[in-house]
Amino acid sequence: MNDTVLLSPQTLSHPQPTVRSTPSWSVEAVLALFELPFADLLFQAQKTLRAHFDPNAVQRSALLSIKTGNCSEDCSYCSQSKRHQTGLEAENLLSLDDVVAAAQVAKDKGASRFCMGAAWRGPKNKDLEPVMEMVRAVKSLGLETCVTLGMLKEGQAEQLKAAGLDYYNHNLDTAPEFYPEIVSTHSYQDRLDTLHSVREAGLKVCCGGIIGMGESRLHRAGLIAQLAALDPPPESVPINGLVPIPGTPLAKNEQPDIFEFVRTIAAARITMPRSHVRLSAGREQMSEAEQALCFLAGANSIFYGDRLLTTSNPQVASDNILFEKLGLRGV
């Protein structure tokens, strides 16, 4: 397939859920990217990255679980579902002081964005006020703010925006046709509806997926096509490698093949050229060389810090050493 076809958006030709978006890359066109020779795909991804970003600058975000466990949903990958016996100890909403202290540590270590996650199906109105206080306090430290709280009710995105929130994270996880294999307690359309509410409120969108849940390459292409079809595409696209957690239905899944993972990052970079593509969960299981391949494929954002919501993350000191070896600059 020639460069002109690969780098030009195509019309979506597969059945789509109802979503307020502009047609973009077709699943077939994204699949064609995945099937390119590896070096050709990375070359195109690097060209795209360099056309829109400093190729050696990596945005760093920190992530804190502000309310842990006891979630009503049945997401097959998640340790925080009360339906799975993972041994995770549930915790109530953190205090404002604890959140501010964690945000200050993250800033001191070089993070520019602070993300707060709560294990809810969606926040009740009474839950929203303390979260908005956290947003205001973290914002006052000079950090960008992001929250992931589940599905939003009418008016809640507007309230978060008024509190100073910058980004709302709500992942699509996978392609629509594979999604019922992973989650049954809410639909793909529920996720799309929340993303629409977030965008309508004027918030930036953080939305990506998980690789290694048993999906096919076609499903991975379908995920990327769905993300690229959002209007506009997400400003931040986290690509997660599944971390198999004992007690979850996906506990025995193998780590995703690194070359397939890198191909997914490259496809995200090419189809969403102005988005930050984040190397997210699963990074601790990667070698330095594997992470370097991800950056070469167009990843230009990471979660930075020793822990994600409930899983560990590479140590800050290790990241600093790797950045020095690769000539990367954290922003």
Given the structure tokens 């006891």, which residue do they identify? 70
Which of 60, 75, 191, 207 is catalytic? The answer is 75
Which of 191, 206, 207, 269 is catalytic? The answer is 206
For β-strands 144-148 and 236-241, DSSP reports them as: unpaired
| CA–CA separation, 175 and 180 (whole Å) | 10
Which of 220, 263, 269, 278 is catalytic? The answer is 278
CA distances to 45, 132, 173 from 324, rounded to whole Å, are 22, 37, 32
Which of 78, 207, 269, 283 is catalytic? The answer is 78
- In DSSP terms, 117 is beta-bridged to 65, 148
Active-site annotation holds for 207: no
Active-site annotation holds for 115: yes
Active-site annotation holds for 146: yes
Given the structure tokens 């970003």, which residue do they identify? 53
Active-site annotation holds for 294: no
Active-site annotation holds for 75: yes
| CA–CA separation, 318 and 49 (whole Å) | 25
Judge whether 330 and 317 are in contact, CB under 8 Å: no
In a 3-state reduction of DSSP, which class is residue 60? Answer: strand
| CA–CA separation, 44 and 47 (whole Å) | 5
Show the tokens assigned to 185: 């307690």
Which of 60, 113, 146, 269 is catalytic? The answer is 146
Show the tokens assigned to 270: 């090419």
Which of 71, 113, 199, 263 is catalytic? The answer is 71
Which of 60, 113, 115, 263 is catalytic? The answer is 115
Indicate which residues carry an active-site annotation: 71, 75, 78, 115, 146, 206, 278
